[in-house]
Structure 1
Amino acid sequence: MKVQRIRLPGDSLTWIVLDQDHLPIRPIQSYLHYLQNLEYSPNTIHNYATHLKLFWEFLQQVQLDWQRLTLEHLADFIRWLRWPHIKVIPLQQQSARRSERTINTILSAVCGFYEYQERVARIDNLKLHRLQFQPDQQYKPFLHHLKQDKLVKRRLLKLKDPNYLPRILTPDQIKQLVASCQCGRDQFLIALLYETGMRIGQALGLRHTDIRSWDNEIVIVPRRDNTNGVRAKTLQSYTIHVSKQLMQLYAQYLSTEYPEVDSDYVFINIWKGRIGQPMTYSTAVDLMRRLRKKTGIHVYAHLFRHTHATELIRNGWDLSLVQKRLGHTSIQTTANTYIHLDDADLKKAYQQYLEQQEQAK
Structure 2
Amino acid sequence: MELHTVAVHGSPRVILLDDRMAPVRPVFRYLEFLRLKNRAPSTLASYAQDLKTYWVFLSQKGYAYDEATPATINEYKAYLQSNDPDALVLYLESVRCGSTINRMLSTLKGFYGWCELLGAVELNPVLSQAVAMPPGMHKGMLHHARRDSRTVQGVFKVKESPRRVRIVTDEEMSAILDAANSERDKLLLSLLYMTGARIQEALDLQIGSIPIPDQFAPVSVVENIKSKGKRRDLYVPLRCLELIDAYIIGGRADIATDHDFLFVADHGPWRGRKLTYNAAYDSLTRIREKTGISFGFHDLRHTFNTNLAEAGVDVAVRQLLLGHAHASTTDRYTHLSSKRACEALESYWERSVMSCPQS
TM-score bracket for the superposition, by shorter chain length: 0.7 to 0.9
1:119 offset after TM fit, Å? 0.7
Contact 1:220 1:232 in 2 (8 A): no
Counterpart amino acid of residue 210 in structure 2 = I
- 1:303 partner letter: D
- Structure 1 match to 2:351: 356
Are positions 1:317 and 2:323 aligned together? no
Which residue does 1:63 correspond to in 2? Answer: 62
Aligned to 1:266: 262
Pick from 217, 220, 226 the counterpart of residue 217 of structure 1. Answer: 220
Q: Does the aligned pair in 2 maintain the 1:17–1:24 contact within 8 Å? A: yes
Q: Is 1:165–1:340's contact at 8 Å kept on the other side of the alignment? A: no
Shift of 1:346: 4.0
Deviation string, structure 1 residues 23-81 (Cα, Å, up to 9, x no partner) = 11122122112112212122211111111111122222222222222222211111111
Tell me which residue corresponds to 1:54. Answer: 53
Counterpart of 1:175 in structure 2 is 174
Paired AA for residue 98 in structure 2: E
Give matches, 1:1-361, under 5 Å: 1-10=1-10, 12-90=11-89, 93=91, 95-126=93-124, 128-130=126-128, 132=130, 135-138=133-136, 146-148=144-146, 152-212=151-211, 213-214=213-214, 215=217, 216-222=219-225, 231-233=226-228, 235-242=230-237, 244-259=238-253, 264-271=260-267, 276-335=272-331, 337-340=332-335, 343-344=338-339, 346-357=341-352, 361=356
**Quick check: 1:197–1:308 contact (8 Å CA) kept in 2?**
yes
1-side partners of 2:355 and 2:141: how far apart? 32
Gaps spanning 5+ residues in structure 1: where? 223-230
How many residues matched?
A: 349
Deviation at 1:343, TM superposition (A): 4.8
Q: TM-score, normalised by structure 1?
A: 0.85
CA RMSD of aligned residues (A): 3.0
Offset at residue 131 of structure 1 (A): 5.7
Q: Is the 8 A contact 1:210 1:218 kept in 2?
A: no
1:291 counterpart letter in structure 2: I
3-state SS in 1 of match to 2:13: strand
Match of 1:225 in 2: none
Distance 1:24 1:317 in 2: 51
User: AA paired with 2:29?
Assistant: S
SS of match in other structure, 2:221: strand
Q: Tell whether the 8 Å contact from 1:207 to 1:266 is kept in structure 2 after alignment.
A: yes
Partners of 1:31 and 1:237 lie apart in 2 by: 27
Offset, 1:154: 2.4
Q: Choose 252-261 or 176-185, whichever is displaced more.
A: 252-261
The share of aligned pairs that are identical, in percent, is 26
1:123, CA displacement in angstroms? Answer: 0.6
- Whether the 8 Å contact between 1:6 and 1:14 is mirrored in structure 2 is yes
| Structure-2 separation of matches of 1:241 and 1:60 | 49
Tell me the distance in 2 between the aligned counterparts of 1:245 and 1:300.
23
Unaligned runs of 5+ in 2: none
CA-to-aligned-CA distance 1:137-179 (integer Å, 9 cap, x gap): 4277898885546775322221121223422212111111111
Q: TM-score, normalised by structure 2?
A: 0.85
* CA deviation after TM superposition for structure 1 residue 275, in Å: 5.2
Shift, 1:309, TM fit: 1.5
Please tell me the residue identity of whatever aligns with 1:302: H
- In the TM superposition, residue 98 of structure 1 has moved relative to its aligned partner by 1.4
Instruction: Supply the distance in 1 between the matched residues of 2:54 and 2:5 (Cα, whole angstroms).
Output: 19
**Contact 2:112–2:125 (8 Å) recurs in 1:** no
